[in-house]
Amino acid sequence: MKTSGLSELEAVLAVARHRSFRAASVELGVSTSALSHAVAALEARIGVRLFNRTTRSVSLSEAGEQFVESVSPALSTIRAAIEQAGSFRDTPSGTLRINTSVGAAKQAMPLFIAFLQRYPEMKLDIVTEGRLIDIVVEGFDAGIRLADTVPQDMIAVPFGERQRFAVVGSPAYFAQHAPPQTPADLTAHRCIRTRMPGGTIYHWEFERHGETIRIDGKGAITLDESGLMLAAARAGLGLTYLTEWSVAADLDAGTLVRVLDDWTPPLDGLCLYYPGRRNVPAGLRALIAMLRESASASSVIERHAR
């Protein structure tokens, strides 16, 4: 690892974000020992301990908290200046860190692949997790989520098709249970419940002709990952509530059957979002341009199809 002052500061901020030297070393692409030496060298030079270390945990000291709070904005400004200077290159380069959910990442993969093919000097670091985080505090350049979950202080760039949710069950399940005709009928069915990242149970949402209903279905299993929900539904454990994108292959194959179709209206699709109070990295500008280019092409195709 480089021993420059700037890389030492990057090392401290990475450890502070992750509360772990190992996780920070993975993010920065260096060995844990090199990262530890960089932090120790900075601590020795300024004469204070920035982290309290035990065999099981790493936490910021009081001096470390003040140091990180002061250094983080300054380092962001330096990064922005470097990115701005780099924007004069013909081809964007560097690494974009993007936070998203597993489902959104799967939908965005064709875009990521096309982006890296167009800009071979770029790298993407995609981190998937269910919880919605502060991408600025956690050191990400951008996030990708469903539009209605994007924080209001972010600049959002919509892309992809509008989303709908679908209630589905296996043919074997419906051989034993009459399909529900209204959301209220779900009280007589086994539902595969969804636990949100914060720990709460998600209530299925329905709307038709201005009538809105939220259902807390009962069932024998509660899950927090869409692939597991699909597996449980295929096995006949009950009905599940997922995006059309997630269940499309099963519907085509006949392994799952959809019900309550007219109770799930379209929602807004995915958005890439980023903070507007700093200079946008050249690589992120290029990715945004590809999103808008794709959206424009889709609009042209849709108009010709009418």
**Residue 272 has what pLDDT?**
95
Q: Residue 122 and residue 173: Cα distance in Å, rounded?
A: 48
pLDDT band, residue 278 (cuts 50/70/90)? low
Q: Which residue has the tokens 């199809």?
A: 305
Q: Express each pLDDT in 41-97 by its tens digit.
A: 899 999 999 999 887 888 999 999 999 998 888 887 777 676 666 655 557 888 999
Q: Write down the pLDDT at residue 2.
A: 45
Confidence of residue 301 (pLDDT cuts 50, 70, 90): very low
Question: 302 falls in which pLDDT band (50, 70, 90)?
Answer: very low
pLDDT for 118-154, tens place per residue? Answer: 999 999 999 998 888 889 888 899 999 988 889 888 9
Write the CA distances from 89 to 85, 118, 122, 231, 283, integer angstroms: 8, 15, 12, 48, 11
Statement: residue 286 has pLDDT above 60: yes
Domain 94-160+269-305, second-level architecture: 3-Layer(aba) Sandwich (3.40)
Tokens of 245: 């994108």
- Rounded distance between C-alpha atoms, residue 200 and residue 203, angstroms: 9
The third-level CATH classification (topology) of the domain covering 5-86 is Arc Repressor Mutant, subunit A (1.10.10)
* pLDDT band per the 50, 70, 90 thresholds, residue 261: very high
Q: What is the mean pLDDT of the chain?
A: 87
For residue 295, is pLDDT > 80? no
SS3 assignment, position 59:
strand
Is the fold of 94-160+269-305 the same as that of 165-263? yes
Q: What is the DSSP string of 9-38?
A: HHHHHHHHHHT-HHHHHHHHTS-HHHHHHH
CA distances from 68 to 9, 49, 85, 142 (A): 9, 12, 25, 21
Name which CATH class applies to 165-263. alpha beta
Domain ranges of the chain: 5-86, 94-160+269-305, 165-263
Task: Mean pLDDT check: name the lowest of 22-31, 52-61, 294-303.
Answer: 294-303
pLDDT at site 266:
84
Q: What would the two tokens of residue 160 be?
A: 């992809």
Q: How confident is the model at residue 303 (pLDDT cuts 50, 70, 90)?
A: very low
Quick one: average pLDDT of 213-235? 94
Furthest C-alpha separation in the chain: 73
What confidence tens digit (pLDDT) does each residue in 165-216 have?
999 999 999 999 999 999 999 999 999 999 988 789 999 999 998 899 999 9
Confidence of residue 29 (pLDDT cuts 50, 70, 90): confident
What is the reported pTM? Answer: 0.60
Decide if pLDDT at 3 tops 80: no
